[in-house]
């Protein structure tokens, strides 16, 4: 058993000082610092840092030159390791709309990474399938050539690798895809869709649980035609938000928080391989993306993925909404864990996985632990090209 002391530990909806975490691959206990057993294997001094639950990124295509659609273990390992520098301890590698052999290969690689976790990285929770079951009218950076009608047999075939599927409900004949997702315990999420408010509400009633990057890839909100975005705000479902100030305006952070509250919002990065590599031209699911400043765009100006990291999303959101960071942290930990029904992640409590992150006063990541192992230390930081 190991111990961590000297931090402000975020437990449930509050935080405490003067306590120590006792853990191996799971959190075993939270005890007064004076009660740390003398025979623990090691003691980490938190030096006043916040100790927060590890972050879960449920929508991330890639980072640091690697992408889920590379369909390789090496790329997934690179993503898994790079994400730990941003406090992420578990993630859903996210696919793009490409031809079936490409998607099959990517899902096979995701399944391999789920069963043989990378040694020093964030854990792979299963894929987020973003396409091909989308509407051609709301593609964003997805390639319309490969859009297909929702196919429940595909879901059944890849049940073992899928965790979350984004689809356009107006394309789903007789709700066959939605029913197959629910049967397979895969999270159905509505997105890249021109669905009306009424149709989207029907999908939520039938078991869709989430809206993919709220406002992006949807009909813009209109007071007489609220559309999918209006339905996602009105229904008791979770909304993903890309809080970079590019995909959504900072005023929208405040509006969405006021409407959804603190428990039904999940910050996602939607990051692509150019994230953390600076300005340049990169591939995203067969599309050429140019990164300039904070923006990643296709040649026609369409916003394409992001270069956001989840720790920055958290800081942006807290700064713009005034939500204390220790409360905002649930938008990247407890809330995504609840959406995915990951019962032993997203919280620091005895019995939960020892996945946690140490953050300084300005909420920069200092250390990250996955399954009780230190996998990132800011003092030993290497830039991502050297990973
Ligand atoms: Zn995406």
Taken in order of first residue, the domains within the chain and their CATH numbers are 2-51+349-386 (2.30.40.10), 54-339 (3.20.20.140)
- 226 or 282: which carries more pLDDT confidence? 226
Nearest to 7 by CA among 55, 53, 52: 52
Q: Over 60: is that where the pLDDT of 382 sits?
A: no
**How many A from CA of 103 to the centre of ligand 1?**
14
Question: 237 falls in which pLDDT band (50, 70, 90)?
Answer: very high
Check residue 295 and give its pLDDT: 80
**pLDDT per residue as tens digits for the range 10-42:** 987 788 999 999 999 999 999 999 999 999 999
**Which residue's entry shows tokens 């290969």?**
105
Quickly count: other Cβ atoms within 10 Å of residue 62's Cβ: 28
**How many A from CA of 269 to the centre of ligand 1?**
8
Helix axes 100-115, 73-83, angle to 10 degrees: 60
Q: Over 50: is that where the pLDDT of 208 sits?
A: yes
**How many A from CA of 23 to the centre of ligand 1?**
35
What tokens appear for 209 in the block?
């649980």
Check residue 319 and give its pLDDT: 96
Check residue 144 and give its pLDDT: 83
Average pLDDT over residues 201-215: 98
**Which residue's entry shows tokens 């402000």?**
8
Whether 270 is a known active-site residue: answer yes
Out of 57, 67, 270, 355, the active site residue is 270
What tokens appear for 9 in the block?
């530990």
Which chain residues have CB less than 5 Å from ligand 1, an ion? 130, 270
Nearest to 191 by CA among 297, 270, 112: 270
**How many A from CA of 173 to the centre of ligand 1?**
24
Q: How many angstroms separate the CA atoms of 366 and 98, rounded?
A: 37
User: 124: which strand partners?
Assistant: 91
Question: 77 falls in which pLDDT band (50, 70, 90)?
Answer: very high
Check residue 384 and give its pLDDT: 54
Check residue 120 and give its pLDDT: 84
Question: 183 falls in which pLDDT band (50, 70, 90)?
Answer: very high
Average pLDDT over residues 295-315: 87
**pLDDT per residue as tens digits for the range 99-134:** 999 999 999 999 999 998 777 899 999 999 998 999
Cβ neighbours of residue 212 closer than 8 Å, sequence gap 6 or more: 59, 130, 166, 189, 190, 191, 192, 240
**How many A from CA of 167 to the centre of ligand 1?**
12
Average pLDDT over residues 51-80: 96
Check residue 289 and give its pLDDT: 83
Check residue 383 and give its pLDDT: 54
The region of weakest confidence among 24-28, 138-142, 327-331 is: 138-142
Query: In terms of C-beta density within 10 A (0-12 exposed, 13-18 middle, 19 or more buried), how is residue 251 classed?
Result: exposed
Average pLDDT over residues 308-329: 95
Quickly count: other Cβ atoms within 10 Å of residue 150's Cβ: 22
Check residue 387 and give its pLDDT: 46
What tokens appear for 121 in the block?
């990285």
Q: How many angstroms separate the CA atoms of 70 and 86, rounded?
A: 22
Check residue 236 and give its pLDDT: 97
Check residue 137 and give its pLDDT: 85
The region of weakest confidence among 25-34, 45-54, 134-143 is: 134-143
């Amino acid at each position: 058993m190991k111990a961590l002391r000297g931090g402000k530990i975020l437990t449930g909806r509050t935080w405490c000082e003067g306590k120590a975490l006792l853990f191996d691959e799971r959190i075993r206990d939270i005890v007064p610092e004076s009660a740390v057993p003398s025979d623990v294997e090691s003691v980490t001094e938190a030096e006043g840092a916040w100790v927060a639950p590890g972050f879960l990124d449920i929508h991330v295509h890639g980072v640091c030159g690697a992408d889920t659609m590379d369909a390789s273990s090496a790329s997934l390992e690179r993503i898994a390791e790079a994400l730990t520098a941003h406090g992420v301890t578990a993630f859903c590698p996210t696919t793009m709309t490409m031809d079936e052999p490409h998607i099959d290969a990517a899902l096979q690689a995701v399944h391999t990474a789920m069963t043989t976790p990378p040694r020093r990285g964030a854990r792979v929770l299963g894929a987020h399938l973003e396409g091909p079951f989308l509407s051609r009218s709301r593609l964003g950076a997805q390639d319309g050539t490969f859009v297909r009608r929702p196919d429940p047999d595909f879901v059944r075939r890849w049940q073992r690798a899928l965790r979350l599927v984004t689809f356009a409900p107006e394309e789903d004949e007789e709700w066959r895809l939605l029913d197959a997702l629910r049967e397979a315990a895969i999270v159905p999420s509505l997105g890249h869709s021109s669905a009306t408010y009424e149709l989207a509400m029907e999908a939520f009633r039938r078991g869709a649980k989430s809206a993919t990057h709220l406002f992006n890839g949807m009909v813009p909100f209109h007071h007489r035609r609220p559309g999918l975005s209006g339905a996602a705000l009105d229904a008791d479902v979770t909304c993903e938000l890309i809080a970079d100030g590019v995909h959504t305006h900072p005023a929208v952070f405040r509006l969405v928080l006021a409407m959804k509250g603190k428990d039904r919002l999940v910050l996602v990065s939607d990051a692509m391989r150019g994230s953390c590599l600076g300005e340049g031209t990169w591939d995203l699911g067969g599309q050429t993306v140019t990164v300039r400043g904070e923006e990643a765009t296709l040649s026609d100006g369409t916003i394409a993925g992001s270069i956001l990291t989840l720790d920055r999303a958290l800081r942006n959101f807290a700064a713009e909404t005034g939500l204390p960071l220790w409360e905002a942290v649930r938008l990247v930990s407890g809330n995504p864990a609840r959406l995915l029904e990951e019962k032993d992640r997203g919280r620091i409590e005895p019995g939960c996985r020892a996945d946690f992150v140490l953050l300084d006063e300005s909420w920069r990541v200092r250390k990250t632990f996955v399954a009780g192992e230190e996998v990132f230390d800011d003092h030993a930081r290497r830039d991502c090209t050297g990973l």
